[in-house]
Chain A
Amino acid sequence: EDKVVQSPLSLVVHEGDTVTLNCSYEVTNFRSLLWYKQEKKAPTFLFMLTSSGIEKKSGRLSSILDKKELFSILNITATQTGDSAVYLCVNQGGSEKLVFGKGTKLTVNP
């Protein structure tokens, strides 16, 4: 059965810290891995990763995929209180369904 496991489940840091969120997956016929950010509303898209070793960057956020070891990481540097959210890792496999991880709840304190 396809599954996505995120760690840690919860993380509390101070503004300015750097955080690394982890996502490991098992999926049949991997197609892509996506990261979403969810605040008190619907998840919003961050990154889509399809190839190993190619870093995607958007401001202070970056992500990379390792298809051999079946994991991805999401890095956030110089965290701000606005980064507080649940970060979801999503895997697209051979079927049309998408498999979601449980999410990592990040809290950034001032």
Chain B
Amino acid sequence: DVKVTQSSRYLVKRTGEKVFLECVQDMDHENMFWYRQDPGLGLRLIYFSYDVKMKEKGDIPEGYSVSREKKERFSLILESASTNQTSMYLCATHSSYRDEQYFGPGTRLTVT
């Protein structure tokens, strides 16, 4: 069974803070993704990574960066959190052998 875990379920941060969201998978999947989910907007891709140390911008990368130093771990970084980054953040992995993205449980981030 694929397991995708995220470091926190709920997080409250202040405006201007640097925020780290971590995602860990145990299935040796090459591809990893970070999405944010907002009501009425669906899931929007922030960044994705095909391999260690590789990253590509998604549709809404502004204000975010990522790090993938190990295959199983993909981190999303908010350099200076702002209130408009309050959202649900979902990590996902994708196996090249099976067409399915496996999602983590999500982190609900509130920036005050």
Please say whether chains A and B are actual partners in one complex.
no
